[in-house]
Chains A and B, each alone.
Chain A
Amino acid sequence: MSDPMVEVRGVHKSYGGVEVLRGVDLTVERGEVTCLIGPSGSGKSTLLRCVNHLEKHDAGELRVDGDLVGYEARGGKLYERNDKQICAERSRIGMVFQRFNLFQHLTVLENITIGQMKVKGVQPDNARARARELLARVGLDNKEKNYPSQLSGGQQQRVAIARALAMEPKLMLFDEPTSALDPELVGEVLDVMKDLALSGMTMIVVTHEMNFAREVANTLYFLDAGMIEESGNPREILSAPKSERLRIFLSKVL
């Protein structure tokens, strides 16, 4: 009896005639960390963005916590959900972007409180208290009055993680969270993510950090040309890749 957090079955997605996802199957168990690796253009980010419906998938079934993402099944038909319902779904799925995407006009503290206040209706005092708790957790409790442009990339990404956590997500999506960082700043972000994984958060991470994948991931998926080429235990896959494509890919990145 399995009750996975995320279940992806035969998901397809194309952009103007180009098929980016060509029937992807993927399962993420509760409390597990799943890493997606693959060459650029393989569809990793698109798959991740389908999970919180930032992109609409064209075919296949995508469930988060048992519910279909973006659609409602009624009487043998799929009805697209309205803006409000999709937003409610998304608020429980945290997302961290490659380019941080912090709200530039708001301070660090306001970045973390705005979602709580406007989406969840949390009282300002409680929202601020929770934001400060989270800032302490990501090691930035002295930066709450700063604007994002005054922070380093690593600091911005940690604020972005805190912003996502403030919504009390059941699932966290990371879209190449360290790819836009200077090498010496990668560690501080990965540390926060490891911490989060240890606390039992369910996570899907698109990454090029093979060491992180090996250490933290429970399951590793290798995507190539819109399909899952290989998947399984990261240690086994990374040390003894079965497919030729993964072998070529690893020889380039390791």
Chain B
Amino acid sequence: MSTNGDATVKVVPVRHVGQWIAAAIAMVFVAMLVHTLFSKLPTGQYACHLVSGVRRCHQLSEWRFSWDIVGRYFFTSEILHGLLITLELTILSMLVGVILGVAIAVMRLSTNRLLSATAWTYTWFFRGTPVLVQITVWFFIAILYPVISIGIPFTDVTFFHFSTVSVFTPFIAGVVALGLNEAAYMSEIARAGLISVDEGQTEAASSIGMTRQQTLRFVVLPQAMRVIIPPTGNEVISMLKTTSLVSVIGVVELLGAATNIYARNYLIMPLLIVASLWYIVVTTVLSIGQFYLERRFAKGALRTPPPTPIQRLRRDVVGILSKFRTQRGALGETR
């Protein structure tokens, strides 16, 4: 094969030797870890039996990670109920967080100084205190406000009132605490999204006579979503696990359920594994959902939307097959 005048010059890519060595070392560690996952530990107990008149003993062993116990508890109703509570807490507090967060972001960007200062203060306060403290405070809120009443400040006029204890059950306190805390973070995410939309879009919307609300709803927010969704997905996944903190005020969610079980039977590790596996399962489902949501809101932003993993897999398979075919074809020709 000559290099000049030949249309099919072969390109030899640079070999990254360092990368290969690093990858090999990484693989050794991965293999070690995988091995421990599926290895057994001696229990210190022996089983003996007579084999053709001779007593033979061997030490009993069990899974290092107690997979049999994990499997036994994975679908128990106590765990599943905890999982349900975790999902409810996540969904409700994210709903509160997203709606309130967008409202606070819009307030923050308002030309009215009082509105934007109020929004700033909200974010400052709720980001500035630990969420664990906030959860506890909302649970004991009745100490500060035994009765909640709506009326005119500094007067005796009240429209309605109710006893705080009757409303703030542990679950409600958890949702309120997580939701309000989340709103502070979501407001910053939403604000970043809103200011990422080019000012020209707002001007164009104004120029065809849209009001400010219409501009926000039909032009700015849909485009801001592209920037808002990835960090929001992050927040949902983070929230899923933050809900485990409400176990301190007695809400029996996923981790709480696992804790309750191992408090009775001391199977600490297997039950922590059960809870962790469920968190991973839900996180995986959420990540997949996020991918498709991002794709949907990328409309118009990219000339060609990125392929879904299934499309990519199909393309790879087709690519490898066709490569295989052409190689065989080339071989056939040379023969």
Contact = CB atoms under 8 A, between A and B. Distances in A.
Interface of A: 52, 54, 83-84, 87-95, 97, 99, 101-107, 114-115, 118-120, 147-150, 160, 163-164, 166-167
B219 interface: yes
Given A101-B201, A166-B208, 11 more contacts: A90-B208, A97-B200, A101-B198, A102-B204, A104-B223, A104-B300, A118-B210, A119-B210, A147-B300, A163-B204, A167-B209
Contacts of B303: 147, 149-150
A119 B209 contact: yes
Nearest to B300: A147
Nearest to A117: B218
B212 interface: yes
A59 B208 CA distance: 25
Contacts of A92: 209
Contact of B203 (A94, A101, A166, A167): A101
Contact of B209 (A87, A101, A104, A107): A87
Contacts, number: 83
Contacts of B209: 87-92, 115, 119-120, 167
Contacts of B214: 118-119
A94 B223 contact: no
A148 B201 contact: no
Contacts of A89: 209
Interface centre among B209, B222, B301 (most CB of A within 10 A): B209
B210 A87 contact: yes
6 A-B pairs closest in CB distance:
A91-B209, A147-B300, A115-B208, A101-B204, A101-B200, A95-B207
A130 B302 CA distance: 28
8 contacts: A87-B209, A88-B209, A97-B207, A103-B201, A103-B223, A105-B299, A118-B218, A149-B303
Contacts of B223: 103-105
Nearest to A148: B300
Contact of A104 (B201, B205, B211, B218): B201
Contacts of A101: 198, 200-201, 203-204
Contacts of A107: 300
Contacts of A84: 211
Interface string B147-176: 000000000000000000000000000000
A54 B206 contact: yes
A88 B223 CA distance: 25
A104 B218 CA distance: 12
A163 B209 CA distance: 12
Interface string B182-225: 00000000000000001011011111111110100011001100
Contact of A97 (B203, B299, B300): B203
A119 B300 CA distance: 23
A13 B299 CA distance: 39
Given A118-B214, A118-B218, A119-B214, A105 B207 contact: no
Nearest to A103: B219
